[in-house]
Amino acid sequence: MQFGSSRARVYILAAGVFAGAASVSFAQLCENIQNRVNLEWRPDLQTALVGDTVDFGIYAVSANQSTSESMAALQIILQWDPEVLQLLGNINNGPYEWLDTIYPNDVNLDGLNAPFLGVPGNDGDAFLMLFSQLAPPPFGPGSARATPEGLLVTTFRFRVLAPAVMTEITIPAALGEHSSTIVASGIVAGCDIKGTLDSANLRSTLETVFPGDGDGDSDVDLLDFGRLQDCATGHPDESVTNDCVAFDFDFDIDVDLDDFSAFQDARTAE
Ligand SMILES: [Ca+2]
Ligand SMILES: [Ca+2]
Ligand SMILES: [Ca+2]
Ligand SMILES: [Ca+2]
């Protein structure tokens, strides 16, 4: 985590990098390279307990399966439910070492990071900037590259505050008047090459939930089956309640025939 004194300098630099297009040819240039990099979450967990610390890695994935894409900088807006999750900060544990990784103090713009105390206040939105090392080898590593396999950009770390059947962390394309999610091209300065923006899901509970064990007595039996019947609404898109999450085997926020068949498998396995 780097929250150094270079923050102001880098922010001014960013304003220059992200300044809009002036000429038509520049706009056309940008159009030719748009949608080159997708931002993707690859969480290694689907459930967590209240009080846990959870990490969500975000990957920059080249939309072209045979080439990687050079990135000068990234600006990532994040939105989450502040009653369920608290943003603690970031771990830059990817293979690429960014020149700087900062939450800018934007109190005088959209205030996404306000109140600003090094990390943004826990109000459900924030934005992070990451800057490439532009110096090419042998002087430096050159800009970060989004590969077809995906470059781990950064890991957002949260604390789980409350139970939720499913909570979502999204990357809005824009928020407020001035803030947008940007993947700045490392080839044509000022061009945004972001493609699709993914979202991540997490289920949080007060106690460990074993799939199928609706009454929490550490088995999957006929008593649990009775509960499953109460939880099954028959409507595939009807949300489950906290009491019924043990029966939502496939994490699609319902209890339906797919879950029933998973329940039967769980009973056989008992
Ligand atoms: Ca905020
Ligand atoms: Ca049981
Ligand atoms: Ca379903
Ligand atoms: Ca389900």
Question: Domain ranges in the chain?
Answer: 7-205, 222-269
**Residue 184, SS3 per DSSP:** strand
Q: What pLDDT is recorded for position 9?
A: 45
CA separation (Å) from 194 to 10, 51, 102, 184, 209?
21, 34, 19, 8, 38
Measured from the alpha carbon of residue 234, the closest ligand is 3
Ligand 1 (ion): residues with CB under 5 Å are 112, 120, 123, 125
Distance 168 CA to ligand 3 centre (A): 18
Work out whether strand 151-160 and strand 85-91 pair parallel, antiparallel, or are unpaired: antiparallel
CA 249 / ligand 2 centre spacing (Å) = 15
* 8 A C-beta contact, residue 16 and residue 183: no
Ligand 3: centre distance to CA 255 (Å) = 6
The predicted model scores a pTM of: 0.84
Q: For the ranges 98-112, 185-199, 224-238, which has the lowest average pLDDT? A: 224-238
CATH topology classification for 7-205: Immunoglobulin-like (2.60.40)
The answer, yes or no, to whether residue 127 has pLDDT greater than 80, is yes
The predicted model gives 77-93 an average pLDDT of 95
b/e map 55-75, b = 16+ CB within 10 Å = ebbbbbbbbeeeebbbbbbbb
Instruction: Quote the pLDDT of residue 233.
Output: 76
Neighbours of 231 (CB within 10 A): 20
- Would you call 145 helix, strand, or coil by DSSP? strand
8 Å CB contact between 87 and 80: yes
What percentage of the chain has pLDDT greater than the value 90?
70
Contacts of 103 (CB under 8 A, 6+ apart): 3, 113, 116, 118, 119, 120, 126, 127, 128, 129
pLDDT classification of 219: cutoffs 50, 70, 90:
very high
Ion ligand 3 contact residues with beta carbon within 5 A = 236, 252, 254, 256, 258
pLDDT of residue 2: 43
Ligand nearest to the CA of 179: 1
CB neighbour class for 118 (10 Å; exposed up to 12, middle 13-18, buried from 19): exposed
| Closest ligand relative to 235 C-alpha | 3
Identify the band that residue 236 occupies on the pLDDT scale cut at 50, 70 and 90. Answer: low
Instruction: State the pLDDT at residue 157.
Output: 96
Q: One-letter amino acid identity for 227?
A: R
Decide: 102 and 10 in contact? Cβ < 8 Å.
yes
- From the list 28, 3, 4, 9, the residue with the least C-alpha distance to 188 is 28
pLDDT digits (tens, 9 = 90+) for 10-67: 444 444 455 554 556 888 889 999 999 999 999 878 999 999 999 999 999 999 999 9
